[in-house]
């Protein structure tokens, strides 16, 4: 998976590659889907949601410029896989999920697999997780119509936020927001396809 899907497409960050070699991706999908777990596409995790394609997880993790010890907020826990990758890269991860069953399954799974530096919350993540702000990095793994204001507010300075944004559902561009010296700059990376970010600062459910 790492060699053919990730290194071959240009991801070079050694910490990302090591984390993706170490994480048991099959543990994050149901047993019937184990044969697909390492394939080059998203896999259903129930409730209309998916665990992202391995390459997209790698690309976003590399774009996030993670250093060990950083505090990272993730919106859209899903299976917990992305959070596990960031934890394996040495980060302390705060992750928020809005579907109760997915929240519960991910929290149990991460605990069972020993990811003690991942904290999971059941809530509307477009509001962030104010109690533990500010965050060095924020990653949103669902696509919204705009960048949620609370997330920009909860981003540290310096800090980096990455989120798929699209004017219609199902197709977005990866938006990268950098906060530095009190200033906010924005750039865009390629097109992506994520499930919907639903919430007060996302799409309406």
Judged by the rule CB under 6 A, the positions of this chain that interact with ligand SAH are 49-52, 75-76, 78-79, 81-82, 96-99, 102, 124-126, 141-142, 195, 197-199, 202
Residue 131, C-beta contacts closer than 8 angstroms, at least 6 positions apart: none
Judge contact between 154 and 130, C-beta under 8 A. Answer: yes
Least Cβ distance, residue 122 to ligand SAH (angstroms): 9
Place of tokens 């980060």: 91
Q: Which residues are the active-site residues?
A: 52
- Tokens coding 59: 């690309």
Least Cβ distance, residue 8 to ligand SAH (angstroms): 21
Using CB positions, name the residue nearest to ligand SAH.
78
Beta bridge partners of 140: 75
Residue 86, C-beta contacts closer than 8 angstroms, at least 6 positions apart: 19, 61, 64, 66, 72, 74, 93, 139
Q: Would you say 142 or 174 has its CB closer to ligand SAH?
A: 142
Least Cβ distance, residue 74 to ligand SAH (angstroms): 7
Going 129 to 187 to 174 to 22, the CA torsion angle's sign is negative
């Amino acid at each position: 998976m790492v060699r053919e899907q990730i290194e071959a497409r240009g991801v070079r960050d050694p910490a990302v590659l090591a984390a993706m070699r170490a994480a048991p991706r099959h543990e994050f999908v149901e047993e019937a889907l184990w044969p697909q777990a390492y394939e080059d596409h998203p896999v259903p995790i129930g409730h209309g949601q998916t665990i992202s394609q391995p390459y997209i997880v790698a690309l976003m993790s590399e774009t996030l410029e993670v250093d060990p010890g950083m505090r990272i907020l993730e919106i859209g826990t899903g299976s917990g896989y992305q959070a596990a990758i960031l934890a394996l890269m040495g980060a302390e991860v705060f992750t928020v999920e809005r579907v109760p069953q997915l929240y519960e399954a991910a929290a149990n799974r991460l605990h069972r697999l020993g990811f003690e530096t991942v904290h999971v919350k059941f809530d509307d993540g477009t509001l962030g997780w104010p109690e533990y702000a500010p965050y060095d990095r924020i990653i949103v793994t669902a696509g919204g119509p705009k960048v949620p204001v609370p997330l920009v507010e909860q981003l540290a300075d310096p800090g980096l936020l990455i989120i798929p944004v699209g004017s219609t559902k199902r197709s977005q561009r990866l938006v990268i927001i950098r906060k530095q010296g009190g200033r906010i700059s924005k750039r865009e990376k390629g097109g992506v396809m994520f499930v919907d970010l639903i919430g007060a600062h996302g799409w309406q459910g």
